[in-house]
Amino acid sequence: MMSDGARRAIKVGLIVAAAGALILAAFLAGFVTRSLLPTGPAAEQSAPTEKPPPSTLAPSPSVTEANETSGAPADPTSEPEGGPPAPAADVREKSSFDLYWEVWGLIEQNFYGELPTDEERTYGAIRGSLQALDDDYTSFIEPEAAEILRSDMSGSFEGIGAYVRLNRAGQVEIVHPLEGRPAEAAGLQSGDVVLAVNGRSLEGLGLYETISMIRGPEGTAVVLTIGRPGSPEPFDVEIIRQRIPFPTVEYEMLEGNIAYVRLYDFNEQADARLQDALKELLTQQPAGLILDLRDNPGGLLGQAVAVADEFLPAGVALYERRSSGTEKVFETTDEGLVQELPLVVLINVGSASGSEIVAGAIQDRGRGTLVGETSFGKGSVQAPHTLSDNSELRITIARWFTPNDRAIHGAGLEPDIEVSITEEDQAADVDPQLEQAIEYLLAGE
């Protein structure tokens, strides 16, 4: 049964979303255009490289561009004699907001039930307007959630220890719980959908708001309402939050003198930690290397390019194209640590954004072989804008393309060697994708 709090959240969400749709034209017309020329490395959500950065609850997937400069709008054209006509945007704004207040006047007079606060109404109107853009990654994030995300690249978090993403149905889905962490101990599984947090329905909320609700101080409890494929009814799970240092990189030597590195996300420490791992592995003179990007949701764009640079000689890493028609080329150098060692990259449906940048560049330039399953298909860039109340607006500003000019958004990368992992494999703790990668390298193909 759904709680009263969940019913109220749905009711409020529907009211404010409907009102928001009415003011879309005014919302868009009132936007101040900003120059979005990067001045430094792009940062994610983050998405293109949305798990959200991995966190104790990590959004999957995304890359966000940071360090954007804001500039003045273009100079206006010359005005005709007699003064300028009334701008069309002003007319639309007045008309739209007249209708908006007409609707709310009727609601305030007639609605049976508790009305949302002014803040809830404002935030809901914005969300309702953004839904009309039909873009899951252009999103409004309330101040508390935005503050969490602004500190989300440090490498440790307080939460439940699970990767999450927005699935194709727009639901918040568990990609996988981290081994030995609270989410796993509580029985959460890959494919579980989070329907409510502490009785509050997630209807109308975005990925980042959900993450901020699930995360919290170490030692406190959070109750998730879970929908599980094959389960007839949703059920509640109580989880005690922990502080979770995130394992950006794990590495070891495998059978046959094969080096193995798993990169969990592209946070601000990713390339530095990867370099440390590679340097240690190279002292053992491996015959080949496996780079595991499975379930890696992305992170900082600059870090994704830096990671690709470790494996590729000088050349194109990706193209970034904006709606204006401008294009930016990101390139690798000749300074990478592993440019010739035989290489296999593992990918799956949880490999997104930054992972697809790296894997796509390696595949297109013939540097290595992709093994696993088709990747997620997240190839858009979000620019974050901090608003006057410290909330955040993330706007999709560009798409990225591989060196061979392939668009990944909505399609994903197809592996060179397709290998699936079945439920029986998981139950038996068998990894046929990793086994295939080892076999491929040992065969010297």
b/e map 140-167, b = 16+ CB within 10 Å:
bbbbebbebbeebbebebbbbbbbbbbb
Compute the distance between CA of residue 79 and CA of residue 18 in angstroms, rounded to an integer.
38
Q: Which of 195, 212, 245 is the last residue of a domain?
A: 245
Question: Does 331 reside within a domain?
Answer: yes
Q: Which of 139, 364, 375, 391 is catalytic?
A: 364
Residues 278, 195, single domain; the answer is no
pLDDT tens for 169-198 read: 778 888 778 778 899 999 999 889 999 999
Q: 351, 353, 375, 391: which one is catalytic?
A: 353
125 is a domain residue: no
Whole-model pTM: value is 0.70
| Pair 354, 341 in one domain | yes
132 inside domain:
no
Helix, coil or strand: residue 258: strand
321 and 432, same domain (yes or no): yes
Neighbours of 92 (CB within 10 A): 15
> Are residues 429 and 310 both part of a single domain?
yes
Residue 232 lies in a domain: yes
Statement to judge: residues 291 and 377 lie in one domain: yes
Count: domains in the chain: 2
Quick check: is 378 catalytic? Answer: yes
Confirm whether 358 is domain-assigned.
Answer: yes
Among candidate residues 60, 139, 378, 391, the one labeled active-site is 378
What is the separation of C-alpha 118 from the centre of its chain, rounded to a whole number of angstroms?
Answer: 29
pLDDT tens track for 319-330: 999 988 899 999
Q: Does residue 373 lie within any of the structural domains?
A: yes
| Residue 11: predicted pLDDT | 42
Residue where a domain stops, chosen among 230, 245, 260: 245
Catalytic-residue membership of 353: yes
In a domain, 41, yes or no: no
Extract long-range pairs of 276-285: CB within 8 Å, 24+ residues apart: 276/249, 277/249, 277/251, 278/310, 278/337, 278/338, 279/337, 280/251, 281/251, 281/253, 282/337, 282/338, 284/253, 284/257, 284/259, 285/257
Query: Are 229 and 331 in a shared domain?
Result: no
Asked if 290 and 433 sit in the same domain, the reply is yes
pLDDT at 315: 97
Other residues' Cβ atoms within 10 Å of the Cβ of residue 263:
26
| Statement to judge: residues 421 and 298 lie in one domain | yes
Are 227 and 258 contained in the same domain? no
Query: Which residue ranges of the chain lie beneath pLDDT 70?
Result: 1-96, 151-157, 246, 445
Peptide bond into 403 cis (omega under 30): no
The CATH number of whichever domain residue 211 belongs to comes to: 2.30.42.10
DSSP-assigned beta bridge partners for residue 200? 197
Domain check: are 159 and 234 in the same one? yes
For 322-365, the DSSP string reads ETTS-EEEEEE-S--S-SSS-EEEEE-TT--THHHHHHHHHHHT
Q: Which domain holds residue 343?
A: 249-381+395-443
Domain with residue 359: its CATH number is 3.90.226.10
What is the token pair recorded at 81? Answer: 């004699």
Which domain-ending residue is among 245, 267, 283? 245
Q: Are residues 299 and 230 in the same domain?
A: no
> How many other CB atoms sit within 10 Å of the CB of residue 93?
18
Q: Considering the domain boundaries, does residue 38 fall inside one?
A: no
> Quick one: 365 and 417 in the same domain?
yes
How many other CB atoms are there within 10 angstroms of residue 400's CB atom? 27
> Is 429 labeled as catalytic in the residue annotation?
no
String of DSSP letters for 201-256: E-TT--HHHHHHHH---TT-EEEEEEE-TT-SS-EEEEEE-EEEE---EEEEEEGG
